Amino acid sequence: MPAEPHLKISAVILAGGQARRMGGADKGLALLDGRPLIAWVLDCIAPRVDELFVNANRNLEAYRRFGYPVLPDITPDFQGPLAGLRRAMVDATHPLILSAPCDTPFLPHELVRRLTDALERSGAEIALPVTERQAHRAVCLCRRSLRSDLALFLDQGGRRVGEWQARHRVVEVPFDDEREFLNLNTEQELAAQEGGRNARR
């Protein structure tokens, strides 16, 4: 099908988890090369979207200092990344929603463009980046029209991102560099990447 004109994009950076593998520390505020992890993600995403939110359930004032609206989950029981996407769908004003975790500091600068192009060309409802090893499901571009279905899925007890995405038409977008989608989930993983982020600037 012919490509549509580019639709406007709202984005949400997901920082609302409990970070159990990082000893309960707030991952988005953990430092990599002297900067909070979320700052690296914002640098990549913010210039390439039309609206941006941060989903957080703790340290709300600290997150507000980055200059974007901070949205807590609708429910208080830490339902996972889909809860952050759900809240963004409520507040967003644009037809496409991009989600990205706060602990992925190496995201490629062409991410938004390539996901958008694939979604519009294919007519799919969700675009996912995939590398040789796996699909990176928490990084996704989806249509805001899925808002009611996502709310229903969560209200019925669903939590798994892949399970919800499987209910819809998905286009997979190949990326070559596995490291670009690396999640830093522990203090050890964070320490191992010190110096690596600045080397890519």
pLDDT tens per residue, range 118-134: 999 999 999 999 999 89
Closest by Cα among 142, 119, 139 to 182: 139
CA distance 20 to 61: 21
Closest by Cα among 133, 106, 88 to 192: 106
Domain boundaries, the chain: 9-195
**Would you state the pLDDT for residue 25?**
75
pLDDT above 90: residue 152: yes
pLDDT above 90: residue 35: yes
**Which pTM value belongs to this model?**
0.90
Mean pLDDT of the chain: 90
Fold of 9-195: Spore Coat Polysaccharide Biosynthesis Protein SpsA; Chain A (3.90.550)
The 10s digit of each residue's pLDDT in 181-191 is 999 888 888 88
Question: What's the one-letter identity of residue 121?
Answer: R
CA distance 64 to 70: 6
The 10s digit of each residue's pLDDT in 52-97 is 999 999 999 999 999 999 999 988 776 789 999 999 999 999 999 9
- Pair 36, 199: CB distance under 8 Å: no
**Would you state the pLDDT for residue 79?**
76
